[in-house]
Structure 1
Amino acid sequence: MGGLQLSKERIGFIGLGLMGHGMAKNLVTKGWPLTVMAHRNRAPVESLVALGASEVSTPAEMARQVDVIVLCVTGSPEVRGIISGPDGIAAAGRELLIIDCSTSDPSVTMELARQLQPNGITLADAPLSRTPADAQAGTLDVMAGGDDHVFSRMEPILGAFAGRIVRTGPVGTGHTMKLLNNFLSLGYASLYSEALMIAGKTGLSPQAFDNVIRGGRMDCGFYQTFSKWFIDHDPNAHKFSIRNAFKDLSYLQSLVTAVGAANPVGAAVRNSFGLAVGLGHAEDYVPKMADIITDANKG
């Protein structure tokens, strides 16, 4: 079917950062009527408006004009403020669907979903995996939580920027799975960093380490981006900040506490990232952990 599909819902998008800009670009270039909102940086807004998007100044104004709002912000406090603030989405008093692609606290997601339901607002969670390059290419992985009707409604929207969409269950399960996914990847980051530190202290070069790991059983997609820093010194190898990594690991700790489980490995990984934040590296990207752990063990 050629041309613009008139049945496509009107989409609002809040959070045009490293991931969000590519996602929104895919939506507007694939024919979805798009409305966006600036935060601190106007450049992504202006590029999307040039492609045909409309601009508003508040979440409430956006909610009065669209059918679905996609959020791609830092975490639960930002999501709550966008929805419930004085100029928030809920203030518009309209029925709509909110798709939260942020990495949020699952307990907050489920609480917000319950609070919004009587007002006709449906909240679904659809957090992301992969990189900003995948966001631009439309090949992200998405973990989607919501009932059958909600999932069927949001699946074509997610498909504009995702290469793989996995339904995880009811609302909240997407954010839970995202925390587990990040626990695994950030756990690998901690392990690789400590292993590289020990390698350096015993005379093994990063290249020798890489020659053994690459192509072996401990290789994986995460290692291949992580290693672009300590092998190629690519500062944009994996654009995910240590601050956000520590935030996600803290959400996991809260979840583990709520279910009454022991999570000693998670605590150790969180402590590694907490150390990096405490040493002033919050805004560095995760692959810099290799340097941070090595520097912390000099002497």
Structure 2
Amino acid sequence: MQNEQIGFVGVGLMGHGMAKNLLNAGYRLTVIAHTNRTTVEDLVARGAVESNSLSELAAASTVIHICAPGSPQVEGIVSELLPSLKDNSVVVDCSTSNPNSTLVLAEQIEKAGCHMADAPLGGTPIQAEAGELATMVGADEAVFERLRPVFAAWAKSVVHLGPSGSGHKMKLLNNFLSLGYAAMYSEALALSEKVGISVEQFDSVIRGSRMDCGFYQTFMGYAVEGNRESHKFTMKNALKDMRYLEAMADEAELSNPIGNAIKNSFAMACAAGGDGPENYVPHLVDFVARNNGLPK
């Protein structure tokens, strides 16, 4: 049995696999239900304990993972955890959060005699189930070393970038690139159709070339093959992340015109009805097409 007692808030698309792999590695795990009881019941059947409240979960845990939609939710969760945190425990925010918020939370948690690490995720739910996620970590060196075996239970690649906030900063930079690809692919495919080159022809040139990459392949899994779940990351979350990137650029006093163009592409799609829970990033291609008078 491992020494750390793990609490997990947010056992959804990504969190379920992470929590399952923590159990498989021998950690004692406490979980709490939110909207989906199926994942909680599966984890309890595997040996997890279900908590009735966040304060109860905090009192039972030495390392608490949070996988939430964004900073407002993380802030609310931390406010409920704080009064019941064990001394020297660690709160690990695996969400894609606003680094400005992360730094404020880290200070609050330190004042309570505990620690914070930001460990946002790279990968898909399939990789989460397989224990093959990537994570980029912001934490004090000693805290990172303490967490290293915990991360090893659910991550294949772990990179320590520096103090609190560093992981969330890098995650936003990572998503800036990936969501920029999505915006460019969507516009390129719309233009391709406008000038008489089919999606299949476009793909036959790009796939396998220097312009190919893993993100291109999952994105085109929808555009070419019609697989609506080829990349299960919502456009609503994409827009949220680009707004966080904008806030980070503003804080750094950096001109961010390309980031704003990407943000506006997702804002257009979400305003046109793409902000639902089953509207994923590759579906942006449909909204850009319709916006340009193409049938989709």
2:194 is aligned with 1:204: no
Match of 2:104 among 84, 105, 111: 111
Q: Which residue of the partner structure matches residue 277 of structure 1?
A: 270
2:10 is aligned with 1:15: yes
Q: Which amino acid aligns with 1:75?
A: G
Match of 1:128 among 121, 131, 142: 121
Q: Which residue of the partner structure matches residue 83 of structure 2?
A: 91
Aligned-residue offset at 1:37: 0.2
Q: Which residue of the partner structure matches residue 61 of structure 2?
A: 66
Provide Cα deviations, 1:204-227, integer angstroms capped at 9, x if missing partner.
111111111111111111001101
Aligned-residue offset at 1:8: 2.9
Gaps of 5+ in 2: none
Q: Which amino acid aligns with 2:134?
A: D
Q: Which residue of the partner structure matches residue 40 of structure 1?
A: 35
Q: Which amino acid aligns with 1:278?
A: A
Q: Which residue of the partner structure matches residue 3 of structure 1?
A: none
Provide Cα deviations, 1:32-52, integer angstroms capped at 9, x if missing partner.
110000001100000000000
Distance in structure 1 (CA, Å) of the matches to 2:132 and 2:117:
20
Q: Which amino acid aligns with 1:190?
A: A
Q: Which residue of the partner structure matches residue 76 of structure 2?
A: 81
**Stretches of 4+ aligned residues off by more than 4 angstroms:** none
Distance in structure 1 (CA, Å) of the matches to 2:42 and 2:254:
46
1:34 match: secondary structure? strand
Gaps of 5+ in 1: 1-5
Q: Which residue of the partner structure matches residue 55 of structure 1?
A: 50
Distance in structure 2 (CA, Å) of the matches to 1:225 and 1:154:
31
1:103 match: secondary structure? coil
Q: Which amino acid aligns with 1:19?
A: M
2:86 match: secondary structure? coil
Distance in structure 1 (CA, Å) of the matches to 2:113 and 2:40:
29
2:2/2:28 contact within 8 Å kept = no
Aligned-residue offset at 1:130: 1.1
Distance in structure 2 (CA, Å) of the matches to 1:258 and 1:274:
21
Q: Which residue of the partner structure matches residue 176 of structure 2?
A: 183
Distance in structure 1 (CA, Å) of the matches to 2:237 and 2:124:
14
2:236 is aligned with 1:248: no
Q: Give the TM-score normalised by the residue count of structure 2.
A: 0.97
Distance in structure 2 (CA, Å) of the matches to 1:157 and 1:198:
47
Q: Percent identity?
A: 48
Q: Which residue of the partner structure matches residue 152 of structure 1?
A: 145
Q: How many residues align?
A: 291
Provide Cα deviations, 1:223-242, integer angstroms capped at 9, x if missing partner.
01101001111111000000
Distance in structure 2 (CA, Å) of the matches to 1:18 and 1:268:
28
Q: Which residue of the partner structure matches residue 23 of structure 2?
A: 28
Q: Give the TM-score normalised by the residue count of structure 1.
A: 0.96
